[in-house]
Structures are given as C-alpha cells and as structure tokens.
Chain A
Amino acid sequence: MKISEDWWAVICAFALIILAWAGVLGKAKGMINIPW
C-alpha cells in the first residue's frame, strides 16, 4: 500500500514529537537551535 504525503508528514512529525517527549530532542536542543 502506498502511503500518501499527508500521512508521511504525520509520521515524520510524530517521530519528532516522540523524540521530544522522550527527552532526546531536549538534550539535543543546542544542536537544532536557530543559529543566533
């Protein structure tokens, strides 16, 4: 079954949200902060 772009967007975004919830993104905050 082909997954539509809409569902891909939801999958990618929720993967990031789960990483944030697990604390991984919070720890990596320095790496992804907007550079100024």
Chain B
Amino acid sequence: MDNKWVGLIVGLIIVFVLAWCSWQGAAWAGANLGDFGKALEYPLWAAILGLIANFVVGSLKLKNFIKPGIRTELFLKIGLVLLGTTININTVLRAGGGGVIQGIFMVTTVFLFSWWLGGVFKLSDSMRAVMSTAIAICGVSAAIAAAGSVLAKKEELAYITALVILTALPLMVIMPFIANALALTPSIAGAWFGGNIDTTAAVVGAGTIHSKKAQEIASIVKMSQNALMGLVAFILAVYFVTVVEKGKEKPSPKVIWDRFPKFVLGFIVASLLVSIVDAKGASVLFSADALSAMSNLRQWFFCFAFVCIGLELDFSSLKQVGGAPLWCYLIVTVFNTVLALIVAYIIFGMLFPV
C-alpha cells in the first residue's frame, strides 16, 4: 500500500483514540474532581492530548508520516454542517444577521488596526496582509487565502499559522471562564468567542466549554465572518496589484466565490431540513433517535478537530521569523478581545438579542 494511505489510516486511528481518551478524561474529571473537574470539558482534554501526542510523534519523527490523517478543517466542517441539524433556521437567520453586522465591523476595524500596527513594527507588506487577515477573519484558512492573494513567503504563512493556534488554545480555555465571571448571557458570550478567537475550531471549543447555546451562536457568528473571507482576499489582491506590485494582471471577482466557505451552505440546508416540523414542533424528516445520533456524531467530529489542533501546532516555524510579528500579533489580539466584547454586547445584548 502507498505510504500516504498507511499514514492516513495510522493518523486517523491516532486521532480517534485520542478523541475517545478525551471523552473518558472529561467523564472521569466530571465524576471525581468536583466543580473543577466539571469545568474540564472535552475540548480542553482533546487539545492537551493532541499537544502531548504532537511532542511524541515529533520526537519519533513520525509527524509527516501521519499528517494525511490530521484533518482539522475537514473534521471541523463536517461537525459544523451536522451542527445545522440541531439549530432551527430562524435562529440561524437571526444570529447570522447579527453575525454579519458584527463581522463587517470587526473585520474592518481589526484589519486596519493590525495593518497600521504592522507598519509601526516595520513588518513586510505581505506579512502585514497575512497577519491582519488571520486576526480579523478566521485564522488559518484566512491566512492561506491572504497569502495566495499577496504572494506571501512560505515561512511567513507557517509563522502566522503557528501563532494563530498558539494564541487560540489559551483563549479557548480562558474566555468561557471570563464570560462566566462577567455573567454574560450565552448569546453574548458566543458572539464574543466568535468575534474574537481566530481559528474556527477554537471558537467552537470555547462555545462548547461555556454552554450549548454559546456553541451555536459562536459557530454561526464565526461562519458569518468566514463568509467575508473571499471579499477580503479579493480586495487585498486588487490592492497589491494596483499599489504594491504595479503592472501585474488584475484579479477577477471570481475569487469571492472561490474563497467562499461552501460548507456554510451545507450548514444552512441542514438547518432548513430540521426546521420542517409538524404542529407539535417535532421534526417531520428525522426521528428523535436520528437527531440524537447526529448530535453525537457532531460532537465526535468536533472532538477530532480539537485533537488535531494540538497535533498540528508547529513550534519550529515560530523561530524562523523573529519576535516583532509576535508582539504585533499579541497587541492586536488584546485589541480584538476588548473590541469584540463591546460589539458582542451591543449587537447580541441590545440590538439583536437571540
């Protein structure tokens, strides 16, 4: 058998075993460690076990071998489409509307602040573009989209990808606790996680640690923000061709559709299907058993994604670029965190309470 296929199967087995251990760990902690144990939800176990496995496979030099099975984005997107089967379309439209308004404001403000601060730190234009898009929109996939638009160096993209995960993991754990300490409603907390944490997997993780409602709102808000990715990639490409690298071929608006996260369409269709209900409010298409099975599968796929975040973190790429982008990134992250809280409070607490 091809080495790539063996790596895929071994990688998938490792991810599955670690996800299963995460469930067991969370169940054990919940039963034996009192209130503290109950706070140790499965996303935290999954990310930590993923990090430990990362060190182990890294020291055994097996990381590249199992890489085909480490599919964070794929697992996450399958989980998000399945999440659609647990949310009524009315909630999706309402939270999605608030999410788009929050997204447009946050993306614009955070992007421009990050771009300006990158200039103060004397970062290259391509590094500023990749970093600003990653922080302003949705971490790794936005960084990849921006890197394609501005032809960033490979090490710049690897560096930002590592930074995104490195900052998202602590935020995933700390933000739900701060949200509880501030007595935020699940909707505001979810909108805050969705507006601030860079990578979608950690947004879902923070929502999961907080509450079911926060998980739903955080996911919808983040997906609304993700949908803006194509537009930003297009504007960046136009800016770089007309201002930074004059004379190159003009980009086509087709990039807006190319970069549109198509799984969001799957999520909306899934939500539409479960929103067909009878007079008693019960789903017409799905039995209670089927709905519960899909809900369980969704949590499994999310758990696989959380394990993969820990597994794919690449520490070595952080050494290559130096400290200036790190400080710039951290300052913008603090700015993003405070601004997202205020905006989430106004939009989901006052204008569009869900």
Q: Given the complex, which residues of B lie within 8 Å of A36, measured CB to CB?
A: 23-24, 27
- CB pair B289–A5 under 8 Å, yes or no, is no
How many chain B residues sit at the interface, stated as a range, is 20 to 34
Given contacts A5-B74, A13-B266, contact A23 B23 (CB under 8 A): no
B261 contacts A32, C-beta separation under 8 Å: no
Interface residues on A, range: 20 to 34
Interface CB pairs A-B, < 8 A, 5: A14-B270, A16-B78, A20-B85, A20-B293, A35-B24
Query: 8 Å CB contacts to A: which residues of B70-88?
Result: 73-74, 77-78, 80-82, 85
Digitize B11-29: 1 where CB-to-A-CB distance is under 8 Å, 0 elsewhere: 0000000001001100100
Chain A residues engaging chain B, CB cutoff 8 angstroms: 4-10, 12-14, 16-17, 20-21, 23, 25-29, 32-36
Cβ of B117 under 8 Å from chain A:
no
Contacts A17-B85, A25-B294 known; 7 new A-B pairs at CB < 8 A: A9-B78, A16-B78, A16-B82, A23-B287, A34-B23, A34-B300, A35-B24
Q: How far is the CB of A14 from chain B (nearest CB, A)?
A: 7
Q: Is the CB of A6 within 8 A of B263?
A: yes
A25 touches B74 (CB 8 A): no
Q: Which of A6, A10, A26, A34 contacts B289 (CB 8 A)?
A: A26
Q: Are B263 and A9 in contact (CB under 8 A)?
A: yes
Cα A17 to Cα B301 in complex, Å, equals 14
Residues on the A chain within 8 Å of B293, using CB: 20, 25-26, 28-29, 32
A10 touches B294 (CB 8 A): no
Q: Is the CB of B262 within 8 A of A4?
A: yes
List residues of chain B with CB within 8 A of the CB of A10: 77, 81, 262-263, 265-266
